Structure 1
Amino acid sequence: MAEDWLGTTGFGIFFILFGILLYFDSVLLAFGNLLFLAGLSIIMGLRKTLAFFFQRHKLKGTSLFLRGVVIVLLRWPLLGICLETYGFFSLFKGFFPVAFGFLGNASNIPFLSALFRRLQGTSSMV
């Protein structure tokens, strides 16, 4: 059952990327946003999703991300995707050093591990 909702989130990401590749097609972007948010809220649970997005220090990123979704739904895709991207990065800025550290440790390629270690040290976790 959880795999189905993971697929929904994956299709959401696919439709967002495909909508960007097709010169910001607003229908594909809107459909991708809805699938992504629905899949994410079902995977994490509605209460945990709301708790994650509406933490005090993440309200700026949440408001920008959700405004971007609404603007894409109102058929202003370029402005909406720009707002969503900035909101996404401000929401998940504490996760990126952890992800880069994992990729740096998992990688056996010397150049990539050095690059990921350097990227991991650029941001501080709170």
Structure 2
Amino acid sequence: MSGGRITTHVLDTSRGKPATGLQVELWLIESTESGFVEGRTQLRTAATNEDGRLAAPLLDSEEMLAAVYEIVFCAGDYFRDEKRRHILEAEPVFDRIPIRFYVADANSHYHIPLLVAPGGYSTYRGS
């Protein structure tokens, strides 16, 4: 049994708070030996809680494979929500934010956080 998992959390840097209710999708990226993408398979969809985190890992244990994955953060929907609309001067620049990454070791923890605002974002591999 492996201990690998994929997790995330999202911070809304325009408000200085966790991003509550932001939709997150996890995709498995299927590619050829030469690296060309053949397709994508959606594995999970979840929304962040009041702490900007998900209730459970996007992927864990026996489901983890050494493979290419993509987390898509639905930032445009989050910022267009009526509770946050007041911070927008215009439509958010980034509607969907895809973060594609490679899991080399299926026994490791891959934490992929997102820092997001209506006009920009950043990410890193967390712990």
Higher Cα Rg: structure 1 or 2? 1
TM-score normalised over the length of structure 1:
0.25
Higher helix share: 1
- Select the structure with the greater relative contact order (CA < 8 A; seq sep ≥ 6): 2
Higher strand share: 2
